[in-house]
Amino acid sequence: MSTDRAEALRARLLATFRLEAEEHLQTIASELEILSGGVSGADTPEHVETLFRVMHTLKGASRSVGLDAFEAAAHRCEAQLRALVDAGAAPDAALLGTIRDAADTFAAFVAGAANAKDLARVGAEKKAADGDAPIKAHGAAAIVPPANDVIRVEASRLDRLVVLMEDLLSPKLAVAAHAAQAVEIAEGIVRIREVAKGDVLDGLRVLEARARRHVEALRSDQRALQTTIDDLYDELLRARLTPAQTILEAFPAMVRDLCRATGKEVVWKSSGEHLEVDRKVLNLVKDPLIHMVRNAIDHGIEPPEQRVASGKSREGTVSVTIAAEDGNKVSIEVRDDGRGFAIDAIRDAALRSHLATPDAIAGMTDAEVTELAFSAGVSTAPVVTTISGHGRGLAIVRDSIERVGGHVSTRSTPGNGTVIRLDLPASIVTYRALLVSAAGTQFLFPIESVERTFAVARETAAAAVEAGTLAQGDQSLPFGSLETALGLTKHDGGDDVRVELPCILIVNGDRRGGVLVDEVIGEREIVVKPLLPPLRRVRNVLAAGLLGSGELVLVLRPFDVLASLGSHAIRQDGDLLARPRTPSVLIVDDSITTRTMERNLFEVAGYSVAVAVDGMEGWEMLQSQAFDLVVSDIDMPRMDGFELTSRIRANETLADLPVVLVTARETHEDRERGLRTGANSYVLKSGFDQTVLLEIVRRLL
Amino acid sequence: MSSRRDGLDWKNAYARLRAAEESLNTIDLRSQEEIEALVRARTKQLEALENAPPLPDSVDLVILSIAGERYAFDVKEASEAIAITHVTPLPGVPTFFRGLISHRGSVYPLLDIRPLVGGALVRAAQFSQAILFTSGGSAVAVGAHAVESLERVDVAELEAQRNQTDLSASVRGKTADGATIIDMRALLSDVRLVVDDRVSVIEHNVD
C-alpha cells in the first residue's frame, strides 16, 4: 500500500473512530448520570456492566486505529470498572469522578482539544498517578474533525422512524377491512333496491350511487396507502443497509498493531466486504468481531518460532468471511490456523471460576469444554493484558448474538486452529417466522430454526410425548408438546378428531427436537420487538413479533424449547393432557424475616406456601401434608436442616422430595455435608439472589 | 409610660431617629465599589430565587381502580394512559405479569401491581386500561379496570404518613379517600419484577 493510500485510510479510520467514540461517550455520559442520580441497588450492577462494556469497546476501537495513549487510558478505566463488575459493587463518588474526567478528556481528544499528554493522566488511580511512566504517544495525535461533507442521521432517529412506520401497518390493514365492509354495505343497498318501489326506490338509487363512489374512493385510498406504506417501509429498512466493509476496514491496522504488540506474524484475509447488511446487525457484530480477532491473535496464533518448530508456516492466518445464507441469513466466520482452543486450560479456568463441579468438568467432552469458553469469567490467559484476559469477551459475544436470534458455533482442532461461526438474521427488524398455535395461543418460531413440519398419528404422538422421544427413521428425537414445554394450561380441544397431529422439527446448532403443536398456521413476515427490562430474559421467549394484522405474538427461543423438551419428557406421568396444578412449597426457617421474605417470594411466583419455624415442625408437617418441595435453613433449634434432609431421604414416602438448603454456612465442608445428606441444591445466603432461588426451585419441580 | 399617656413618645422617637442617622452614616462610609458589589450580590440572590424550582408542596395523582381497590400514581411518572385492546399471554413469568401489550411500536409487560404493594392477587377480570411507565430503560404497563380521576395531595401530608406508618417500600401513603399511593420509581426497582433466565445454576444443581 502506498504511503498516500495508507495515510488516506488512516484518516478515514480516524474519522470513523471519532464518530464511534462520540456514540460511546454519549452512552458513558448517560450511564454516569444514572449512577450519579442514585439508581436503585438492584439496577446498579447492570449500569456498571454497561459502563465496563462501553469502555472495553472504546479501548478496542482506539487500538484499531493505533491510538496507543487512548487505548492505555481506556484500559485503566476498564480495569477499575471490571473490579466493580466482579465485586458486584457500586461505584463511589471518586470513581464516578475519574470516569467522568476520563470521558471529558476522551471527548476533548476526539474534538482535537486534548493530546496524548492529557490522555496519560486519564483513569489513573490517585495513588498510582504520580509514579506512572509517561506513555508513548505513538499515533496519538489529536484527531481533526472531518469536513462536514455527509449528512449524519442518528441511528436512534432512524430507529424511531421505523417504529413510527410500524404504527402505520395496522391502519393499512384496517383500511383494507373498511373497504371490504363498504362493499358489503353497497351490495346490501342493491339487494334492497331490487325489491323497493316508488320514492324509496329513487332514494335507494341515490344512496347506491353514493355508496359506490365511497367504495371506489376507499379502494383508491387503500391502494395508495398500501403502496406508499410498503415502499416507505422498504426504503426505511434499506436505509439501514450498510456494506460490511464499514466494519472490516479497521481490521488490517488493528491486526498489524496487535502483531507488533504480541510479536506474532499474521496474514489478514477478509471477504464479503461488499455484502449489504442491516446496520443494526453490523453494529451488533462489530464488537464481537473485534474481540474474536484479538483472541485469535493473542491466544490462537503461535509465536513464529513455535509455528516453524511445529512444521507450520512462520506467518499465521486470520480471516473473516461474511456471506449471505439461505433464508435471509448472514454468516460470519472468524478462522485462524493457530493452536486451537486449549482444552485443558479452559477446564482449569472453568474450575477456577466455579462454573461447574470438578467431576462435571472432568466428565465433559472436548466440544462441551469448548462451549465453556463462552461462559462469563472463563479466561485462559494467565495475565490480564490490554488485549484480552478478562474472561468476559466470548460470553458477551454469545449473549449479543443470541439476543437477536442468532447462533454461535465453534470448531476447534488442537494444533490446527479454530473457526467461530456466527449465524444471524440479515435483518433484525423483520424476519420470517413460522406461526403455530398451542393451548389456544399463537406462537412464532424463527424460520431458520424450523427444519420441517410433519404429521404424526395421534397415538404415536401421545406415546412419544410420554416417552420424551420420537422415532424418526433410525434416529430418536427428543419430543414433547409445545404447551407442556412452555408450561401452559391444556387448551380444551373440544371435538378434535384428527387422526394425525401437526409437529415441527426445530434445530439449534447441533440440537434437534420434535415439537407437537395444535396447528401449523404458516410462515409470516414479522416485525421483531425486543423485550425490555424488567424482562431481561424470559425462558423460552426470544422477543415479541408484530404480525401484519398488528397482533403481538411471542417469538420462541428454540434453544430453550429444545432444553424444555427433555426435562418435561422426564416428568410426564403418562398423562399427555394433564392439567398443571399449583406446586406447594414448605419453607422451614427459624427467622421470621427469612420466612416472610421467602413466603412472599414464592407466593408472588405462583406457588402454594406453608411455613415451619424449625426442622421439627417441618418434619411434623411433612407427615400430615403433601408438598412438592422443601426450602430449609440449616441452623435451627430442635432439628437442623441436615437432620431434616436426612430424615426426608430415609423416609420411603418422602425420599424423592426435592430439598433446597438456604444457609449462611459457606464452608466447603458444610456444602459437601449438605449435598451428602441428600439436598438437591445448596444456596448460600451471602450470594442470595431471589431470581436464582426461584430458578432452582422451578427446575427441581 | 407617662410620656405615652401624654401623647407622642418623644423619647423613643428621638432614639429611632438617631439609629437611622447612624445607619445612613455607615452606608455613606462604603466605597462606590463596595456598594456595587453589594448590589451585584443582592441581584444574584434575587436571580437565584427566581430561577429556583417551585417548592414541591403538592403532587398530582392519577387514581385508578383494580378489582374495587384504588391506587394512585404521580402523574409526572406516567407516560400515557391507554385502552387495552389485546394482551399476549407470557408464560414462565410470575403471575403478576398478566401478559404483553403493544403501544406505538413498543412492548410493555402488563402488571397487576396488587401483590407487589401488599395486596392479594385475587383473580380479576381482564384489565381494560393501562398506565404506561418508562424509567431507566425499563418499561411497564400498570393494568387497571378504570382510570378514575386526578387528585392533588399535600407532600407534607405524605411525608407525615411515611414517617408514622409502616408502609412497604413502594407505597407512599394514602389519599384522603383511601387510595394507595404508589411510588413507581421504587416499584420499578423491586427485584421481584426482574425476570432474568440467564443465571447459571450449575453450581447449585446437584442432579
Is the same domain home to A380 and A254?
yes
Where in the sequence is the domain holding A33, given as residue range(s)? 3-129
Question: CA B48, CA A89: separation in Å to the nearest integer?
Answer: 38
Q: How far is A491 from A425, CA to CA, in rounded Å?
A: 33
Write the residue in B88, B95, B116 that is nearest to A606 by C-beta. Answer: B95
B61-73 per-residue burial string, b: 16 or more CB within 10 A, e: under 16: bbbbebeebbbbb
Confidence band, pLDDT 50/70/90 cuts, at residue A701: confident
Same domain for A84 and A34, yes or no, is: yes
B90 vs A43: CB contact, 8 Å cut-off? no
Residue A147 DSSP one-character state? P
Task: Say how many C-beta atoms besides its own lie within 10 A of residue A134's C-beta.
Answer: 9
CATH of the domain at A683: 3.40.50.2300
Given the C-alpha cell 461461526, which residue does it identify?
A: A421
Interhelix angle A279-295/A155-167, rounded to 10 degrees, is 140
Residue A46 in domain: yes
Do residues B180 and B121 share a domain? yes
pLDDT for residue B120: 65
pTM, 2 dp: 0.51
Same domain, B69 and B139: yes
Q: What angle do CA B137, B139, B141 make, to 5 degrees?
A: 170
Residues of A in contact with B190 (CB under 8 A): 42
Give yes or no for a contact between A351 and A364, defined as CB atoms under 8 angstroms apart.
no
pLDDT of the residue at A690 = 64
* CATH number of the domain residue A340 falls in: 3.30.565.10
- State the Cα–Cα distance between residues A271 and A274, nearest whole angstrom: 8
CB-based contact, A37 to chain B, within 8 Å:
no
Q: Identify whether residues A287 and A233 lie together within a single domain.
A: no
Which pLDDT value is given to residue B14? 83
Q: Are strands A541-546 and A519-529 parallel, antiparallel or unpaired?
A: antiparallel
Residues 6+ apart with CB under 8 A from B143: B66, B84, B98, B110, B111, B112, B113, B127, B129, B130
| B130 to B30, B126, B144: CA distances (angstroms) | 65, 11, 6
The verdict on A468 and A549 lying in the same domain is yes
Q: For position A639, what pLDDT does the model report? A: 87
CA distances to A371, A452, A589, A655 from A640, rounded to whole Å, are 39, 54, 9, 18
CATH value at residue A543: 2.30.30.40
Mean pLDDT of A246-274: 85
Any domain includes B24: yes
**Residue whose C-alpha cell reads 383494507 in the numeric block:** A176
Domain identity same for A588 and A667:
yes
Count the Cβ atoms, other than its own, within 10 Å of residue A349.
21
| One domain for residues A588 and A696 | yes
3-class DSSP assignment, residue B185: helix
User: Has residue A471 got a pLDDT over 60?
Assistant: yes
Chain centroid to CA A114: 38
Nearest to B137 among A532, A546, A551 (CB): A532
Number of other CB atoms surrounding residue A252 within 10 Å: 16
Q: Which three cell numbers stand for residue A71?
A: 487505548
Answer whether B120 touches A (CB < 8 Å). Answer: no
User: Does B80 fall in a domain?
Assistant: yes
**B133 in Cβ contact with B184 (< 8 Å):** yes
- Mapped to the 3 state alphabet, what secondary structure does A298-318 carry? HHHCCCHHHHHHCCCCCCEEE
Q: If we measure between CA atoms, which residue out of A68, A69, A129, A140 comes closest to residue A98? A: A129
Q: Does this complex have an ipTM over 0.85?
A: no
Q: Is residue A183 part of a domain?
A: yes
At A152-195, the pLDDT tens digits run 677 777 777 877 777 776 677 677 778 888 888 888 888 888 88
User: Is A139 among the domain residues?
Assistant: no
Q: Is residue B97 part of a domain?
A: yes
The answer on A79 and A196 residing in a single domain is no
The verdict on B46 and B69 lying in the same domain is no
Question: How far is it, in rounded angstroms, from Cα A463 to Cα A456?
Answer: 11
Residue B167 near residue B173 (C-beta atoms within 8 A): yes
B12 and B100 both lie in a single domain: no
pLDDT at A151 (0 to 100): 67
Asked whether residue B39 falls in the same domain as residue B121, the answer is no
| Side-chain half-sphere exposure of A589, counting CA atoms within 13 A | 23
Domain contains A144: no
**Beta strand pairing status for A659-663 and A681-684?**
parallel
Spatial separation of the C-alpha atoms in residues B3 and A459, rounded to whole Å: 119
Q: Domain boundary residue among A520, A541, A571?
A: A571
Indicate the pLDDT class of residue A392, thresholds 50, 70 and 90. very low
Angstrom distances, CA of residue A420 to CA of A91, A252, A319, A320: 35, 19, 11, 10
> Is B129 inside a domain boundary?
yes
CB contact under 8 A, A537 and B197: yes
What amino acid occupies position A241? L
Residue bearing the bigger pLDDT, A305 or B165: A305
Nearest to A517 by CA among A506, A529, A534, A501: A501
Please indicate, yes or no, if residue A577 is contained in any of the structural domains. no
Q: Residue A515 in contact with residue A481, Cβ under 8 Å?
A: yes
User: Shortest Cα distance from B72 to chain A (angstroms)?
Assistant: 21
**Do B47 and B64 share a domain, yes or no?**
no
Do strands A329-336 and A417-425 pair parallel, antiparallel, or not at all (unpaired)?
A: antiparallel
Window A:580-609, CB contacts with B under 8 Å: 601, 603-606
Please answer yes or no on whether A554 and B100 come within 8 Å at the CB atom. yes
**Would B203 be classed as within a structural domain?**
no
- Vertex B21, ends B15 and B23: CA angle to 5°? 105
Residue A32: HSE in the Cβ half-sphere, 13 Å Cα cutoff: 21
CB contact under 8 A, B205 and A696: yes
- Mean pLDDT of chain A, nearest integer: 77
Give pLDDT, residue A517.
Answer: 92
Kindly list the distances between the CA atom of residue A279 and the CA atoms of A159, A251, A521, in Å, as whole numbers in the listed order: 11, 18, 31
Q: Does residue B206 form part of some domain?
A: no
Is B46 inside a domain boundary? yes
User: What residues pair up with A433 in beta bridges, in sequence order?
Assistant: A446, A524
At A403, is the pLDDT very low, low, confident or very high (cuts 50, 70, 90)? Answer: low
Distances (CA, A) of A87 to A288, A388, A524, A687: 24, 19, 45, 11
Mutate to test the interface with A, among B166, B197, B207 (most CBs of A within 10 A): B197
DSSP SS3 for A129? helix
Answer whether the bond into residue A534 is a cis peptide, omega within 30°. Answer: yes
CA pair distance A529, A157, nearest whole angstrom: 17
What CA–CA distances, in Å, run from A250 to A16, A164, A441, B44? Answer: 9, 34, 47, 53
Residues B78 and B102 in one domain: yes
Counted domains in chain B: 2
Query: Quick check: is A147 in a domain?
Result: no
Per residue in A527-559, pLDDT (tens digit) is 778 788 888 888 888 888 888 667 899 999 888
Q: Based on the domain organization, do A396 and A454 belong to the same domain?
A: no
CA distance A436 to A517: 7
Strands (E), A429-499: 430-438, 441-446, 450-457, 469-472, 475-481
Which residue in chain A has the smallest CA separation from B115? A604
Q: Which residue has the cell 398419528?
A: A457
Q: What is the residue-wise DSSP string for A510-556?
A: TEEEEEE-SEEEEEEEEEEEPPPTTEEEBTTEEEEEE-TTS-EEEEE
What number of helices (H) and strands (E) belong to chain A?
25, 23
Domain that holds residue B14: 2-51
Q: Assess A681–B contact: CB distance below 8 Å, yes or no.
A: yes
A571 touches chain B (CB under 8 A): no
> Does residue A288 lie in a domain region?
yes
Nearest residue in A to B206, CA atom: A680
CB atoms within 10 A of CB A650: 11
- Asked whether residue B79 falls in the same domain as residue B166, the answer is yes
CATH number of the CATH domain containing A7: 1.20.120.160
Note the pLDDT of residue B24: 63
Q: Note whether A370 and A281 are same-domain residues.
A: yes
How many domains is chain A partitioned into structurally?
5
Tell me, yes or no, whether B116 and B159 share the same domain: yes
* Beta strand pairing call for B58-66 and B69-74: antiparallel
B94, part of any domain: yes
Beta-carbon contacts below 8 Å between A and B: 151
**A418 in Cβ contact with A338 (< 8 Å):** yes
Find the range with the poorest average confidence among A18-27, A356-365, A643-652, B130-139: A356-365
In terms of domains, do B43 and B83 share one? no
Question: A579 lies in a domain?
Answer: no
Last residue of a domain, one of A522, A540, A571: A571
CATH of the domain at B79: 2.40.50.180
Question: How far A108 CA lies from chain B's nearest CA (Å)?
Answer: 27
Same-domain pairing of A269 and A409: yes
Binding-face residues of A in 406-465 toward B, CB within 8 A: 441
User: Residues B65, B143: one domain?
Assistant: yes
Q: What is the pLDDT of residues A79-121, one digit of tens each?
A: 888 888 877 788 888 888 888 889 888 888 887 778 888 888 8
User: Domain boundary at A189, A204, A238, which?
Assistant: A238
Residues A559 and A478 in one domain: yes
- A685: alpha, beta or left? (left if phi > 0; alpha if psi -120 to 50): alpha
Q: Are residues A125 and A170 in the same domain?
A: no
Which three-class secondary structure string do you get for A664-695?
CCCCHHHHHHHHHCCCCEEEECCCCCHHHHHH
Structural contact between residues A143 and A18, judged by C-beta atoms closer than 8 angstroms: yes
Contact B189 A541 (CB under 8 A): no
The model's pLDDT over A339-391, given as tens digits with 9 standing for 90+, comes to 888 787 777 776 665 566 677 777 777 777 777 766 544 444 433 333 343 34
The SS3 call for residue A472 is: strand
Query: Distances in Å between the alpha carbon of A88 and those of A43, A81, A85?
Result: 11, 10, 5
B30 and B96 co-located in one domain: no
Instruction: Identify the weakest region by mean pLDDT among A24-38, A448-462, A483-497, B121-135.
Output: A483-497
How far is A81 from A83, CA to CA, in rounded Å?
Answer: 5
